[in-house]
Amino acid sequence: MSGNSLSNKISEFINAIKADKIEKAKKALNKEIKKAKSDTEREELTARHEDLCSIIEKQYCISDFLDLTSKRAKQLTHVTHPAKFSHSKNGASGIFAIKDTNCTPYLTTSCLTNTYSEFSGNAAASNAAQLLTLNHNGQSLLDAIKNGDYSALEPFAKDKTQLDAWVNDLMQVLTFAEPKSHRYAKQVYFPVTDGQYHLISPMYSSSLSQALYERVVAIQFGSEEKAVRDAKKANRYHEKDVVVIPNTAVQIFGGNNKQNISFLNAKRLGKGFLLNSAPPSWASSLKPPIYAKSIFEVTEFTSAVWPLLKDLQNYIELIQKRDSTIEMRKNLVALVNGIIDELLNYAAKIQGLKKEAGWSQAGCSLPNAEKLWLDPLCNDLEFQRARSNMSWQKQVCEHFADWLNNRMNYAFKGKGIVFGKPQHAYWEKIFASRLRDYELGTEVTEVYDNVKEDVV
């Protein structure tokens, strides 16, 4: 490490704090001067400002600053897992996960190539944390002091005694008190043997969170990644792949006092990213209803129409004691058509199973009419002759009316409403028109597809 280079970083850091303090004092002075009513008042304000600047200059003289800041370092502890992430008043001890070169295949804090300097303790001592994390060529001031290299501090010390005092005080961040828990700490009773248990306290890894935070921010807001995304939007080539992290959640720690949780938490503005770890959505593969006794018993269909049946039931219950009107009949037809839509949608999916064509010919439990309806791609000659007869449509409509009547009678059991032949004929009539139009559209589509294949 070049001590002089890190010394420059220390000097720049302290001078930047001093300049910021003076700039804030100057802005406050300008506001007061604008409110001043006389030249005498303005002169007094200017004099007070000069005195304040002199105090700041003295306070942020590098050696004086290091005297004060190094003494505050004992209020901090160098950790990877601060305790306050579980509760801002948690007074439990933090821990430091030692880097493990023989790391397991799991992602843990010990596996990080950069453990990230994290500090917990008094937020008022944050200057000490910032000082210790000043970095040159990948080595921080804290790393240098741990390795016995104090050359970065030597240019600012009046003598060896002052230098040793700085080093001893700054090294206090590496000192751990006796481990302790706290009533605000998260604790899990983990059973072992013979009624005994271990008390486990899960802790949040701020160092691991920082590594994830920097990676996510670089992907989402980095200039390189932005250039790759812009190239994709413009349909231009780019040598790098687009990286996307979908469904990222954000935790906020610390409320308005983010620095009270930890040093790195304040740098992250209290944000902690959570990657999506939900299991993938189950996508069931569609299969023909070979083992069903009717299409109206297939789970995919019945689960889809359940809320629609409930709507129909509620509407019938609402109008049962009223005189029938055109509007009521239109609403009733619309509700039944909603159920028919779901039925035809499901039927279309089954009919489109080209790889399964002919599935109804071996071991299928469906009624013959439903086989003829749902397996239009079957290449059996006798099957196609029977299908072209169209008499099966009436039977399918009867099955639909039977099923809907049964569902309504079950729903209104004990309520004095019975669905019989008149309702059966009404449901059958509504579905017959829809099924006829549906089959006509299917046949036209199949003819068009065949013509297209012949042309090609």
Position 43 scores a pLDDT of 80
pLDDT tens per residue, range 275-326: 988 887 776 678 899 999 999 999 889 999 999 999 999 998 888 888 888 9
d(CA 391, CA 383): 13
Residue type for 84, please? K
CA distance 359 to 377: 9
pLDDT digits (tens, 9 = 90+) for 413-434: 888 888 999 999 999 999 999 9
Q: Which helix (H) or strand (E) holds 139?
A: strand 139-140
Q: What is d(CA 307, CA 407) in angstroms, rounded to the nearest whole number? A: 13
- How confident is the model at residue 41, as a pLDDT? 78
**Residue 456 in this model has a pLDDT that exceeds 60:** no
With a CB cutoff of 8 Å and minimum separation 6, the contacts of 33 are: 42, 45, 46
Structure tokens at 164: 């040793």
Tokens of 367: 């009624």
pLDDT of 148 over the 50 cut: yes
Q: Which of 193-202, 393-402, 436-445 ranks highest by mean pLDDT?
A: 393-402
Q: Tell me, what's the pLDDT at 278? A: 83
Domain boundaries, the chain: 61-208, 295-455
Question: Can you tell me the mean pLDDT for 387-416?
Answer: 91
Per residue in 200-252, pLDDT tens? 889 999 989 999 999 999 998 888 889 999 998 999 998 989 898 888 899 99
What pLDDT, on a 0 to 100 scale, did the predictor assign at position 403?
Answer: 95
- Cα angle 133, 139, 143; round to 5: 70
Question: For the residues of 296-346, what is the DSSP string, one character each?
Answer: GG-HHHHHHHHHHHHHHHHHHHHHTTSPP-HHHHHHHHHHHHHHHHHHHHH
| pLDDT tens, position by position, 5-44 | 889 989 898 889 888 888 888 888 788 877 777 878 778 8
pLDDT computed for residue 399 by the predictor: 95
pTM over 0.85: no
Q: How confident is residue 408, by pLDDT bands cut at 50, 70 and 90?
A: very high
The pLDDT tens digits for 322-363 are 888 899 999 999 999 999 999 999 999 999 888 889 999 888
Q: Does 452 score more than 60 pLDDT?
A: no
Q: What are 54-69's pLDDT values in tens digits? A: 888 887 888 888 988 8
Specify the pLDDT at position 89.
85
pLDDT value for 258:
85
Check whether 1 has a pLDDT greater than 80.
no
What pLDDT shows up at residue 416? 81
Q: Are strands 76-79 and 118-121 parallel, antiparallel or unpaired?
A: antiparallel
CA distance 446 to 451: 9
Amino acid at 18: K
pLDDT in tens, 96-132: 888 776 767 778 888 887 778 888 888 888 888 888 8
pLDDT over threshold 90, residue 404: yes
Indicate whether 73 pLDDT > 60. Answer: yes
- Averaged confidence pLDDT in the chain: 86
Residue 191 phi, psi (nearest 5): -70, 140
pLDDT class for 4, splitting at 50, 70, 90? Answer: low
Give the mean pLDDT of 246-262.
Answer: 87
Q: In this structure, what token pair is assigned to residue 296?
A: 């109206």
